Structure 1
Amino acid sequence: MTAGLSPLERVGEGERGVLAATLDRVGHLATTQVRHGLPADTSGSSEEWISCADLLGDPGMFDRWRKRLADWLSERHDAEIPERTTSGYIMSWYLQVPGFLGGLLFHASRRVPSLRPADIAFRLSGDRPHPNAVALLSDDFCCLPDDPESHRPEATTVADERALAAMFRARFTAHAAKFVTAFGPGTRFGKRMLWAAATDALDSSGWLAGRACGDEGAGVADSALFLPTAEAPLTSASTLRAVTGDDGNALWTRRRESCCFHFALPEQRACTTCPRITEDERSARVLERGR
């Protein structure tokens, strides 16, 4: 899966810029690490760094990734794994790579990085084959006029927060469009499902970034900026909502637009955010989990 990783060879631990400093500060806070550049030495590691550009340019790599995931799941469930489940997992995992990268930098610094496939790489875990780290390979960013680094040659200013959120949405959507084109023909998913998954990744990006940085409510507000309305090809406005228990404490949840088909695994049920469950069941599960 690591054949032809030429974009990874050009960016390492060299000169570190504005975005690198932000990621040094917050990139380790979430389960998926986000960093600037690649480690100087990955030799001897069972974990693989993959260029998004290489992966989208060779859709056969998705087939090999699905096979590896199917083998991993089969060992744990002692069953044949449905193709829709491996495709659903990988669809969601991949789209979270540019989504969480952009959401984290927007939340932590009000900056939007380049989200071109050539400017992003991710690392697959040596065990469960999911992205456990993301690397930004570019210093370019968009920011607000009062950003103290707006004078830099790699900076592009936009008018206000709504314009900055629109820039993130546009850059993410451009990346997602390349994913839909590359990944779609190898699955039974239609374009509506693929764009629903992209909507989920964008909506979750602010929420997860806020949670990682210790201000979940602010992250939810960011997601509302990213998806104020259903703007095609994305399929909905933000679906994040608060669930309040008897004690008055509010917990956040959302209804997914797409499905990862986790429920198709043996003895598994639909996820809490799954569109297949009712809002009443979703609320009950969120409150039970929050106790």
Structure 2
Amino acid sequence: MTVPARVSQKNPRALTPLAESIARLNLDTDIRFGTQPSDWTICSDLLSEPTKFDLWRKDLAEWLVEQYGESDDRATAGYIMGWYLHVPGYLAGLLFHTARRVPTLKPCDTAFRIAQDGRPHPDGMAILSDEFACLPDDPASNHPAATVVPSEAALAALLRARYAAHAAQFVASFGQVVRFGRRQLWAAATDMLEYGPWAAGRVCGDENAGVTEAALILPEKLEPFVSASTLHLTDEGWKRKRNSCCFHYVLPDAEPCTACPRTCSSN
């Protein structure tokens, strides 16, 4: 079912530019703007108390036992790592793809909702701040909340920097409660930064544009990320070489991910 984006503002005729961009979306994922109900999690609240990740992993472990007969600490850490980083990565990629706008991506300005039935994954995402960056020809470039940059390359670089700042806080927080090293955590951050625009292109009907945007955002190996965009065209369509592993393959009778870096000899 397609879910229209929701905007929590008292006067829908007075939407800010970023809220308007989100209101135009019509996607399967619930994407929102503004303050959300109490069952939503503000990213900064989670990052400030890393032990809250343990509660999320406990719920995931129970679901994995239901699905596979047992759980695994590596899998719960791998799933949560990817799910969390997908939130800022997808929000950034989606707004870059659809509006050439980049939100702040600060943890205090992003939020998500964890599904209450079945798999405990983020089934909704939200931007909480009006602030955004855009190009000079954006019709809202003179808005007080806008930061104007001169080119698409500069906008992509700003997106990368804002995402990196958020990801750095995640690496510092999540790294306290899992056994993954910094390289593994930044590999996941790289994967989700690449996946955001690619996924946005696919859901909006222009995968090739999403691939081009991923290459613009990750044109080469740039610190702290571990690689450039790895998307490449094959006989089966666009594929990528994953840098990180969710450890799904360690679960009983689980099929490895198609681009699993631990089980695939080549991607």
Deviation at 1:25, TM superposition (A): 1.5
Task: Give the corresponding residue for 1:254.
Answer: 240
Task: Give the corresponding residue for 2:18.
Answer: 19
Determine helix, strand or coil for the equivalent of 1:252: strand
Deviation at 1:38, TM superposition (A): 4.0
Deviation at 1:163, TM superposition (A): 0.3
Segments of 5+ residues of structure 2 without an aligned counterpart are 1-6
> In structure 2, how many angstroms separate the alpha carbons of the residues matched to 1:124 and 1:74?
18
1:158 is the counterpart of 2:149? yes
Determine helix, strand or coil for the equivalent of 2:18: helix
> In structure 2, how many angstroms separate the alpha carbons of the residues matched to 1:38 and 1:268?
38
Scaled by the length of structure 2, the TM-score of the pair is 0.92
User: Aligned letter for 2:154?
Assistant: A
Task: Give the corresponding residue for 2:257.
Answer: 271
Partner residue of 2:196 out of 175, 193, 205 = 205
Deviation at 1:14, TM superposition (A): 3.4
Per-residue CA deviations over 1:207-263 (Å, capped at 9, x if unaligned) read 000011110000000000110011111000001111125xxxxx1111110000000
User: Aligned letter for 2:265?
Assistant: T
Determine helix, strand or coil for the equivalent of 2:87: helix
Following TM superposition, the consecutive aligned residue runs of length 4 or more in structure 1 with deviations greater than 4 angstroms are none
Task: Give the corresponding residue for 2:96.
Answer: 106
Query: Which aligned pairs between 1:237-248 and structure 2 lie closer than 5 A?
Result: 237-244=228-235
Query: Which aligned pairs between 1:174-189 and structure 2 lie closer than 5 A?
Result: 174-189=165-180
Determine helix, strand or coil for the equivalent of 2:195: helix
User: Aligned letter for 2:100?
Assistant: R
Deviation at 1:78, TM superposition (A): 1.7
> In structure 2, how many angstroms separate the alpha carbons of the residues matched to 1:151 and 1:72?
48
> In structure 1, how many angstroms separate the alpha carbons of the residues matched to 2:110 and 2:10?
16
> In structure 1, how many angstroms separate the alpha carbons of the residues matched to 2:248 and 2:24?
34
Query: Which aligned pairs between 1:57-206 and structure 2 lie closer than 5 A?
Result: 57-79=48-70, 81-127=71-117, 128-206=119-197
Q: CA RMSD in A?
A: 1.4
1:227 is the counterpart of 2:218? yes
Partner residue of 1:33 out of 27, 30, 36 = 30
Deviation at 1:150, TM superposition (A): 0.2
Deviation at 1:12, TM superposition (A): 4.2
Determine helix, strand or coil for the equivalent of 1:186: coil
Per-residue CA deviations over 1:161-213 (Å, capped at 9, x if unaligned) read 00000000000000000000000021110000000000000000110000111
Deviation at 1:13, TM superposition (A): 2.9
Identity %: 54
> In structure 2, how many angstroms separate the alpha carbons of the residues matched to 1:195 and 1:232?
10
> In structure 2, how many angstroms separate the alpha carbons of the residues matched to 1:194 and 1:19?
30
Determine helix, strand or coil for the equivalent of 1:150: coil
User: Aligned letter for 2:171?
Assistant: V
Deviation at 1:269, TM superposition (A): 2.4
User: Aligned letter for 1:133?
Assistant: G
> In structure 2, how many angstroms separate the alpha carbons of the residues matched to 1:14 and 1:94?
30
Segments of 5+ residues of structure 1 without an aligned counterpart are 1-10, 246-250, 283-291
> In structure 1, how many angstroms separate the alpha carbons of the residues matched to 2:20 and 2:144?
17
Paired residues in the alignment total 256
User: Aligned letter for 1:135?
Assistant: A
